[in-house]
Amino acid sequence: MKKKLNLLGELIEDFDGVKSQKSLVKKLAEYMYRNFRSAAVELAWNIGPSTTVMNVTTDKDNTLYKSTGRDLNQSAFSEVLASGQALVSEVQEETDDSLFIEERIAIELYATQLVILPLYEKDDINGFISIYLLEEQDLAGLSELLQHMLTTITMMLKQIGFNEKLIGIARRSLTATEHYKQKLEEVTWESDNDKIAEIRQELLQDCRLAARNSTAVYIKGEIGTNKQEIAEVIHKFRTQDKAAFVMFDCAKLNDSKQAEVLFGSKANKKPKGYWDRAGKGTLYIVNAEEMTSESQSILEEISDNHSNNYPQILLSGEIEKAVNTNYFDADLADDITTLTVEVPALRDCREDLLNISKSYIKELSQKLSLPIPKMDRKFTQAILSSEWKGNHKELKKFLEKALISSPDKNLIIPAGYAEQGGMTIVQSADSLDDSIKRNIVDALKRTRGKVYGEDGAAVLLGLNPSTLQSKIRKFGIKKKSFKK
């Protein structure tokens, strides 16, 4: 017992300061050679159909490290996966075609005993250790020590993986800091006061989080909420515009050719698809609910084995509805919606609505070769009081009509626009007390209790702010209740 405790303590001491899988397997090989006369140790983690195996061959003079890919169908580890138990094999003297890769290696190393131990993550095997022993060992007597050793190694592998992710995030953040500063005005929708409305600021934070991961991101929102803009923002944060941004619309090709065109080499087709064209950039899949079963299968494989060498996949569409009709695989939907960026409806961004409108007016004025006009109080009130059920598309269409319809420096509401159902405007506060109170409450709800400023309730109602304050006091309305 004392010897076992000493061996375990020695193992933990050897592992102190280890920061990578490579150094971990080297330390393990030295430990096993010193205490159990092993010729080599192999380590694999995050297993798949083809798994990277790190091999360290050790003797008293040399330590040789190499990393190779291994087909698990030709590996003895396939038997460990099937049984869930460790494998102990006495090494044959001669090779034949039926031997596993590990058995061939054992013969080349003149080992007498081959031991393969599974590494568990929760209830699933996620890796293995192969030990090539030059002298037979009493493994039954060492079972407790080996179990402690496996637990320690698994914990270290998890910690190494976590640290590598943190380092990757830190490096990307440092690299991108200056770029973010230069591009901030372009992608953060800044207002005239250099402030961003809270709900849009939260959206921006979600975009930054999405950009720090290589996993798929689901962009969710109503029709017209400009989800493509959000996809482009995530892409800019992640790649600093140094890689391709590729967009594919599943609704335009939802037959048997879709998987080939979309995933190309991943679908085992020679022609390159949108996936290949994206490189290490971004593949944005629109109308993802129209993905064929073959495309879904390939996407599931990519999601299970995502890598920084792959393009990041962004998706939008009515995936939940497709799951409910059994057209879209529910397990895949769970995977690709784990990281969701929800784009708010325009009516929920009233604090930033005027700023968004000004940005569109500037863009449309350049497009139409017209001077940039001003928004007077009446026009501002019309924008702030509309429901904008069509979101950005509806707002942009309204502003374009206004630009074309305005003969002078001030924008005017296009004739017949409200009557045609284009806008639902809060009624003027000039009727009976109950109507006035109802309009004030409605305006405060929309502005979250804000009275002053261009995006405040006073402008929305067409009232002087001090007049509105007196009416709020008169009707006993509590502004604080609308700020949540």
**Architecture of the structural domain at 2-162:** 2-Layer Sandwich (3.30)
Helix (H, G, I), strand (E, B) or coil at 46: coil
Task: For 105-121, write each residue's pLDDT tens digit.
Answer: 888 888 888 999 888 88
Q: Where in the chain is the domain with CATH 3.30.450.40?
A: 2-162
| Domain 346-405 -> CATH class | mainly alpha
**Whole-number Å distance between alpha carbons of 324 and 330:** 9
Beta-sheet strand order (sheet of 245-249): 245-249, 282-286, 312-315, 217-220, 340-342
Mean pLDDT of 217-245: 89
Do 76 and 103 form a contact (C-beta atoms < 8 A)? yes
Q: Of residues 230 and 378, which shows the higher confidence score?
A: 230
**Whole-number Å distance between alpha carbons of 378 and 481:** 27
Provide the residue type at 432 as one letter. L
Domain 193-342 has CATH 3.40.50.300: yes
Task: Report how far apart, in Å, the C-alpha atoms of 243 and of each of 214, 232, 311 are.
Answer: 14, 12, 9
Beta-sheet strand order (sheet of 38-45): 63-71, 50-58, 38-45, 124-133, 113-121, 87-90
Residue 33: pLDDT above 60? yes
Residue 177: pLDDT above 70? no
Q: Where in the chain is the domain with CATH 3.40.50.300?
A: 193-342
Residue 478: pLDDT band by 50, 70, 90 thresholds? Answer: confident
Q: 146 has which bridge partners? A: none
Task: For 335-350, write each residue's pLDDT tens digit.
Answer: 888 888 888 888 777 7
Q: Where in the chain is the domain with CATH 1.10.8?
A: 346-405
With vertex at residue 30, the alpha carbon angle to CA 26 and CA 34, rounded to the nearest 5 degrees, is: 170
Residues 16-24: contacts with CB under 8 Å, at least 24 apart: 18/156, 18/160, 19/160, 19/163, 20/160, 20/164, 21/45, 21/54, 21/157, 21/160, 22/54, 22/65, 22/67, 24/153, 24/156, 24/157, 24/160
**Whole-number Å distance between alpha carbons of 341 and 228:** 12
Q: Of residues 463 and 209, which shows the higher confidence score?
A: 209
Mean pLDDT is highest, among 54-63, 161-170, 313-322, 396-405, for 313-322
Task: For 11-25, write each residue's pLDDT tens digit.
Answer: 777 777 777 888 888
